[in-house]
Structure 1
Amino acid sequence: MGRPEQLPGEEDIAASGEGGRKIIHIDMDAFYASVEQRDDPALKGRPVAVGGTRERGVVAAASYEARTYGVRSAMASALARRMCPDLVFVRPRFEVYREVSRQIHGIFAEFTDLIEPLSLDEAYLDVTDNHQGIVTATEVARQIRARIREETGLTASAGVSYNKFIAKLASDHNKPDGLCVVRPEQGLAFIARLAVGRFHGVGPVTATRMEKLGIHTGADLRRCSREFLAQQFGKSGDYFYLAARAIDHRPVRPDRVRKSIGSENTFFQDLFTHDELAAALLESSETVARHAARTAKAGRTVSIKLRYSDFRTLTRAKTLPAPVSDAATIQQVALALLAPLEPVEQGVRLLGVTLSNLGEGEEELVVTAEQLALAFE
């Protein structure tokens, strides 16, 4: 990737390189679907969806051939079928994916002990001091990707940078089977060019709100003061302020265990109507479902968090008879938890959904309507 140009008049806050760290984010390409295509030659080159085939099933992963039709993870299986009539559904084999993931993490461990898994198919690696004594993180990433291809027959994309935030963005830059390097002196300009919707933590609702404020790119976001962003986006404002300046001091944390999967949004304008609240819950439910699919997790407890305009905060939770992971079911439970709180007397400034009491994924991660009815009796 060519060296980006820095915006005129901007101080290169990122030039220090976050203390000289060398971070790699490895992300396997369409992991579940690629494993299925590898193991069944008849699936190669065909649009493949891994996930439930029932009416209320959900797509856990889609091959790149399926993605050209708009099929995405966390999408309802019925909708995916309509978008791509030739779509081939394959039941997930989570034990196989976990075994391949263990193989890949074994490769990581040959280069560094500082490995932070995010899911079965992605991880951060701190290779500032690596076992092989390789001078550049770029070369470490090249060798890791080559080993993965040689030993598993799968491809991985990698982002190389001086902090986790940029490394993760970079890994998505040249997918599939790509490598993107963002050096310390390039960080600000790399962020400046990105649409705000590419920032992690900026969902469709937040992106739309930012665009209404005239914030379309990282450069636009960097022109906003910390106070303005805090006023508009609550506690997320500080994250946006630092991210726009390519700053992320978080270290790579080995053996990180996820206890819950959550997503919440702070709104530019308070929400009042049921349709507005339902749309916000759907966005958060879809975000949670995507993470659940990537980690092969399901949860029995769904909770919502609601904050009114006067900052009064409520939480409600329900534990279900069986684990769930699809967006439709998570939203259904969230709406049932919200119902006793409606109509809202004051505007809602924050709303979020969390899935907890996590366990390993099952072949068909669906709670039936009858089970849900019993759960709320």
Structure 2
Amino acid sequence: MQSAERQPPTVPERPQRKIIHVDMDAFYASVEQRDDPALKGRPVAVGGGHRGVVAAASYEARKFGVRSAMPSVTARRRCPELVFVKPRFDVYKAVSQQVRAIFADYTDLIEPLSLDEAYLDVTEDRLGLGTARKIAEDIRRRVRAETGLTASAGVSYCKFIAKLASDHNKPDGLCVITPERGPEFVASLPVARFHGVGPVTAQKMARLGIVTGADLREWTPPQLEAHFGSAGQWYWRICRGIDEREVKPDRPYKSVSAERTFDEDLRDPAALAAQLTRVAGFAWERVKRAEVRGRTVTLKVKFADFTLITRSKSFARPIAEQDAFEAAGQVLLAALMPVPQGIRLLGLGLHALAEDDPAGPEQLGLAI
């Protein structure tokens, strides 16, 4: 008797992912309005000041065209009634941790993107609520009840569409995009709204006649790669609603940095060096809190005419001390002297990061 032909083992089909993207509404500004009733209903900008930039704007301010990263002078010109509030990052971080604790009741698969947004994989219905929509509704209800703030949520089968969906009905909204609706939902949207398509790329696409996701679908991978390099493959996939990225908890930092905008433009080398020492101190505190190390120091300089440049220096081994971190920045700054015009902003950051390993070899100093 001949033995039966061996059959390949069957691979169980992976269940359809259920992804929620939660985005707090105008987070910093909403916290300030919550904590100061006098600010409710008023246009509020967090940050700013005489020479600074807007870190966040309330929805009342956004109606006037005020946006984050906008120079405060421009913001005040657009909205003369704008109220500037100093940022309280310790408070924002505490509220963010409160919201993350709510997420953790529903899933362990939480990928924070910033203090105010995160992806959640709720494929496993831990609390037995029945659907991802009901989970998102329950999360939003609890966020409002426990923090006094509102959150918008997007629900879908992949990260890319969930993030698009969370922005669809803002503020205080919920949008669910099923797998059947995914490709057409993406096709209907402007490519400028796609995560990963910045303003420069969106302008380049517009020059090529690519304005919507539907336009993007008309292009083949080779055509897209010819214009956009390796990103062409990503664009080809997302315009068809294809995104297989997993929700990854403990998303690693790409960089840690700090920066300072001055009340007056600076040109004196000694004054700039002193300011860089302050910035390095702030940045290194963030490095310690993040428990990371890096091999590349990057100096950021914004001139009086808003021209922005960066200069970097990389080392063979991670930098382990604040003195070495600052020294690398000072070398980069000194190389720019004398400057052709005043400097309005200095920033210093650490890149090429890895998690800190206490058992690893210490590097006590770098000769620069």
- Does the alignment reach a TM-score above 0.5? yes
Aligned-pair Cα RMSD in Å: 2.8
Distance across 2 between alignment mates of 1:333 and 1:376: 14
Q: CA deviation at 1:260?
A: 2.1
Answer whether contact 2:30 2:58 (CA < 8 A) is retained: yes
Pair 1:69-2:64 in alignment = yes
Answer whether contact 1:18 1:249 (CA < 8 A) is retained: no
1:240 counterpart letter in structure 2? Y
Answer whether contact 1:109 1:115 (CA < 8 A) is retained: yes
Q: 1:320-339 to 2 correspondence within 5 Å?
A: 320=299, 328=302, 334-335=308-309, 337=311
Answer whether contact 1:69 1:83 (CA < 8 A) is retained: yes
**Which secondary structure does the structure 2 equivalent of 1:20 belong to?**
coil
1:335 counterpart letter in structure 2? I
TM-score normalized by structure 1?
0.68
Q: CA deviation at 1:40?
A: 0.1
Distance across 2 between alignment mates of 1:236 and 1:46: 41
Normalized per residue, which structure has more helix? 1
2:28 counterpart letter in structure 1? Y
1:182 counterpart letter in structure 2? I
* Unpaired stretches in structure 2, ≥5 consecutive residues: 1-12, 258-281, 285-295, 313-318, 320-329, 338-368
Pair 1:132-2:92 in alignment = no
Q: CA deviation at 1:131?
A: 2.0
Higher-RCO chain (CA-CA 8 Å, sequence separation at least 6): 1
Query: Which residue is equivalent to 1:30?
Result: 26
**Alpha-carbon spacing, 1:102–1:318, altered in 2? closer, same or farther (3 Å):** closer
**Alpha-carbon spacing, 1:259–1:212, altered in 2? closer, same or farther (3 Å):** closer
Q: 1:255-274 to 2 correspondence within 5 Å?
A: 255-260=250-255
Query: Which residue is equivalent to 1:164?
Result: 159
Distance across 2 between alignment mates of 1:227 and 1:121: 37
Distance across 1 between alignment mates of 2:226 and 2:179: 30
**Alpha-carbon spacing, 1:119–1:187, altered in 2? closer, same or farther (3 Å):** same
Q: Give % identity.
A: 62
Answer whether contact 2:46 2:54 (CA < 8 A) is retained: yes
Between Structure 1 and Structure 2, whose CA radius of gyration is higher? Answer: 2
Distance across 1 between alignment mates of 2:304 and 2:173: 34
Q: 1:41-80 to 2 correspondence within 5 Å?
A: 41-55=37-51, 57-80=52-75
Query: Which residue is equivalent to 2:184?
Result: 189
Out of 144, 148, 155, the residue aligned to residue 153 of structure 1 is: 148
- Number of aligned pairs? 274
TM-score normalized by structure 2?
0.69
**Alpha-carbon spacing, 1:18–1:236, altered in 2? closer, same or farther (3 Å):** farther
Distance across 2 between alignment mates of 1:97 and 1:41: 17
Distance across 2 between alignment mates of 1:51 and 1:257: 27
Out of 14, 17, 41, the residue aligned to residue 21 of structure 1 is: 17
Tell me which moved more, 249-258 or 30-39: 249-258
Query: Which residue is equivalent to 2:288?
Result: none
Distance across 2 between alignment mates of 1:81 and 1:215: 34
Answer whether contact 2:298 2:310 (CA < 8 A) is retained: no
* Unpaired stretches in structure 1, ≥5 consecutive residues: 1-16, 263-297, 301-316, 339-356, 358-369
